[in-house]
Amino acid sequence: MNSVLIDGESLTTKDVIAVSRNNDPVEIAQKAREKVKKSRRALEEFIKKEKVVYGVTTGFGAFGSVVIPSERIKELQYNLIRSHSAGVGKPLDRDVTRALMLLRANTLAKGNSGIKLVTLETLVQMINKGVHPLIPEKGSVSASGDLAPLSHMTLVMMGEGEAEFEGKVMNGQQAMSKAGITPIKLDFKEGLALNNGTQMVTAIGVLAIHDTERLIKTAEIAASLSLEALSGISDAFDEKIHNVRPHPGQIKTARNIRLLTSGSQIIRSSSDVIKEIRRSKTRHPQDPYSLRCIPQVLGAARDAASYARRIIETEINSATDNPLIFAEDGECLSGGNFHGQPISVVMDLLGIALTTVGNMSERRIARLIDENLSQGLPPFLIHSEVEKGIHSGFMSVQYTAAALASENKTMAHPASVDSIPTSANFEDFVSMGSIAARKATRILVNSEYILAIELLCAAQAVEFRGSEKLGQGTRVAYSLIREKVPMLRKDRVMSKDIEDVGKLIRNGRFVEAVERASIHRQS
């Protein structure tokens, strides 16, 4: 297992996934150690010269004009952490907590925060030894940073608060003692350096981006299987169409649909359909938008995710506390890098993109089960001519998909356009980024379930077309589903089927297996 080296400059989303979900160890780069020590020395010089430094020799927020006596500036840091530990709700998931801790450590390693090296080393030890602070998920407006979540993290570093260690919840002092870690003693500026930043919203964002990119690939697979199940028309995916409207995501999605359905004996060209129309006049010469516009819709989601990734990757290597120390220039400057608006906006964008992915998937589900729209498939995808009406088949799973899609729509309203002033109107415009990020994650989970339902319906539908006629990529996808869920021949409880396919999506096996087969080479 390789260590992830942090230096404040080069952390990647892949690194964050490795630490947060795979428990890879973390090391501090030597150049980062030197920067941290240099920054601390510079801050100490400011204090010796009795300079007024916000949050160091003054109070915080609306109390920023109050000068603190020198003998009480350390006490100020403890009070900051305790008073701002005001989060509520269930604890963050472990992977989010680990990502948050890593991102905070990387920001501190950048060398602009003025902390002691031992403080950074303590946080890294906690990551490596598995001391996970219990951080309530609600209570941050992501403006003067994620103050409450990061304060709850810092409490455990101080030997207070609560933490999970080796699968058990205990107080912070016990967790640190059992892990063999000495709690920190906060010095001037250190409380502020630890709790002022965007690390909660960014941690959620990194994981959401990773999972969204996998989900979009899953959506392309599901859409391809549905395209075949509904005897769709291939012309809409011709590269010539997409090259004259060259949005990168649209071009990639169209290419992936072509790869997945390559060799299919079920989908047809428009010329084949025209011949059918001349014979029977029962077929429209074009598919509905939920099939024909797959590249345009999923491509837009791809492009949204790509933009969000760029913003997130900038943020994870940024200095986001206040004030910032610039040792080379001998300056300590106050600004607003703690403000979460960049992340808040892209998390809202991600939520909107994921909502459209789920919406379109639900529309294909509805077509698959409707005998009037499914190009000859049995009603609700159940062969029940002998016992018609006795078995409901896939009728009710569409209800679930519709409910999830509707719930997503209610959450897709952007949180980033809202602001409630805080700190006696001193912090008068806030980002609500933590809300945007948590909403995006909930929309993501709902969309995973919707796609699981589409995959179940599409796999059932191709049983009536002949699974041996599937394209190269969709055949692999169909086989993976059938490894988990048998064909529905009579009514059974469907929740387990949905959960089983949902797990296949979430653990990455579904996309990885198709990619390993060198069939679905997605960018």
Cβ neighbours around 20 below 10 Å, total: 25
Question: What is the end-to-end Cα distance of the chain in Å, rounded?
Answer: 26
Question: Is residue 54 annotated as part of the catalytic site, yes or no?
Answer: yes
Instruction: Report DSSP letters for 291-350, one per residue.
Output: HHTHHHHHHHHHHHHHHHHHHHHHHTTS--SSSEEEGGGTEEE---TT--HHHHHHHHHH
For 379-508, where are the alpha helices, taking DSSP H only? 395-411, 433-465, 472-484, 495-506
| Cα angle 28, 31, 37; round to 5 | 85
Q: Are strands 136-138 and 331-333 parallel, antiparallel or unpaired?
A: unpaired
In the chain, what's the furthest Cα-to-Cα distance? 93
Q: 54, 289, 307, 449: which one is catalytic?
A: 54
Cα(349)–Cα(386) distance, rounded to whole angstroms? 49
Cα of 138 vs its chain's centroid, Å: 17
Cα(209)–Cα(196) distance, rounded to whole angstroms? 23
Closest CA to 449 of 351, 361, 368, 339: 361
Q: Residue 215 forms beta bridges with which residues?
A: none
User: What SS3 class is residue 154?
Assistant: helix
Active site residues: 54
